[in-house]
Structure 1
């Protein structure tokens, strides 16, 4: 019995070794098969995704080019309409106020002095302010220099404010003429009308000071806006 025990143990060990080798070979072969299958699957997925990504990018690029073309056409169409509208408004403003000035030569009354002053302010806006404003709106950026920018802004604020103040003086003249005709018509002289008109233009011209020289009063004389 003592001789058989080692043999039994030895055979058991050999059997275990053989079984372990088979198991190792089995797992090795299985791992290789799984690796090959997985590699093939990954390669197929990469190829499929690459093809789909390429198609998607081509589609996106095509759509982007179409959108750019559509935006460009829309911008040109918008600018053409804007040019037409600006030109029509400017011409109507000039033509209408010129008719007022021509009419004043025939009917020279004190009341019409206010209308003459109002037409002059609007004519300045139509001749100088509106055309440059239209160009600026079409270009979407200012490329005409700092000097013209200051002149344009000064004339714009000056003439627009003068138009508002002249409309105010005209309204006051008409209001006093209706509410107090006997008292006001005696005081309604040419000198008084010219004084009211001059006061309106004088207040309006004050806009030039902050537009042209505001940087001289603040920020140590350094212009922050190019």
Structure 2
């Protein structure tokens, strides 16, 4: 996806009866969003989730990566609970300072943190964090109508589920901006910019 938001400028009316999506389902970002963090690193973006703690060699358990924030803070990763001294604090969720009521600037979501490696054997497979959902602007000189069958999605990607490593954090949802003299959202229409869920961790 591109680094900029998807912008549609229309002379006249817009009728949305189907599905428009700038969402992501993995570590890649939607348009205008930020990618999920690589293994053991924070996500990209101004409200990215932070990496969990614990390192290999020396640790049998590592904590989960934090989820990204947007207008609200992201969730923290899971805390590892193993035999001392291998307990580690979770990766912090990203701050909730990226969203404004006017959506200026128009930003996509930030990335969740990647999982942290907990072992050297072939079964230890940490995963990257979820990417941030995209940003969409539709501006029309007439009306914008999202019918009962219309859907606009800007959700963030889910964090990867680990094997014998810390789970990865989810990416935050993006944003959608509809601008026209008249905007109508019908009952039953779907406008969703949910954050991605965190991935499960696993200890050896």
TM-score (norm 2): 0.24
Higher relative contact order (CA 8 A, sep 6+): 2
Q: TM-score under structure 1 normalisation?
A: 0.23
Bigger Cα Rg: 1
